[in-house]
Amino acid sequence: MKALFVLVLIALGSAVSLAASATSGTEPGSAVSKGAAPSRAELVPLIDGIAKRRGVELALAHAIVAAESAYDARAVSRAGAIGLMQVMPATAADYGVTDPEALFDPQTNVETGVRHLRRLLDKYDNDYGRAIMAYNAGEGVVDRTNSNVTYRETLDYTVAVIHQYRRNGGTRPTDDALRKVALLRRAAGRGDARRLMKRYLDTSLLSLKIRPTLSVDYLDPGLHRVGPESRPMFELHPIE
C-alpha cells in the first residue's frame, strides 16, 4: 500500500512538470526556456537559414547582427529598437509584425530584419554602402540627402559593418563605400564648424562699414605719417 502511494505521488509530479512545460511554451528537456537568451551557437544556423532563403549574403547578415546587438536577442536601444537586428516596431509593422514583444523572438526578429535588409539591397541596386546606411539612419534620410548622410553614428556604423563583413569572409567590393564615408566625415566636420560659428559668433559684427580717420589728403599712404602718434587710416564700425 505504501509503495502504491509513492507511485501515485511520482505520477502526479510528472503530470505537473509536463503541464508547466506546456504552459511555458517549451518542450520538456529544451535547452532554451522562454526567458533565456539563446547562445550564439544556436543563433548562427537560424540566421544562416533565413539569410539563404531571403537571398542575403551570410557575411552581411551576420555583420548587421554583430553591429546591432552583438547577438543579444534581448537587446533594446534607447530609441526602442528591439532584438538581434534591432528592428523598430514601426518597421516591423510594415512586414506584418504588429506586436513589439514578438521581436524578442529570434526567428521573428531575424526574419523581419533580413526581409528589410533584402528590400534595401534591392532598392539601392545591391550597393552595400547605401543599404547599410539606410538600415541605420533610415531610407528616408538616405534619399533626402542623396546618399550623403553625415550623421556621425551612421558613418561609424557603416565602417563597423563593412569591416565585420570583410572579417566574415565577404568579398563584394566595399572600398568605394569606405571612401565615401571618409569624404562624408570631412563634410560633417565642416558642418560642425559652421554650426559652432553660428552658435557662438555674433554675426552682427560681420556687417561692417569702413570709416576714414584722417583727412582726404592723408589717405594717400605715401603721405601717412609713421610713428607712435600715428593714427590708423581706417576704422571698422558695425552698421547701425
**Which residues belong to the active site?**
68
CA 41 to chain centre: 25
Give yes or no for a contact between 87 and 111, defined as CB atoms under 8 angstroms apart: no
Round to whole Å and give the CA distance between 154 and 136: 6
Burial 166-198 (b: 16+ CB within 10 A, else e): eeeebeeebeebeebbeebeeebeeeeeeeeee
Q: What are 185's three cell numbers?
A: 566625415
Q: What are 125's three cell numbers?
A: 541596386
For the purposes of burial, counting CB atoms within 10 Å of the CB of 149, is it exposed (0-12), middle (13-18) or buried (19 or more)?
buried
Residue with cell string 550623403? 148
Round to whole Å and give the CA distance between 229 and 53: 86
In terms of Cα–Cα distance, which of 83, 131, 125 is closest to 107?
A: 83
Task: Please report which residue ranges of 103-174 form alpha helices under DSSP H.
Answer: 106-123, 128-137, 139-144, 152-167
Round to whole Å and give the CA distance between 110 and 59: 14
Residue type present at position 204? S
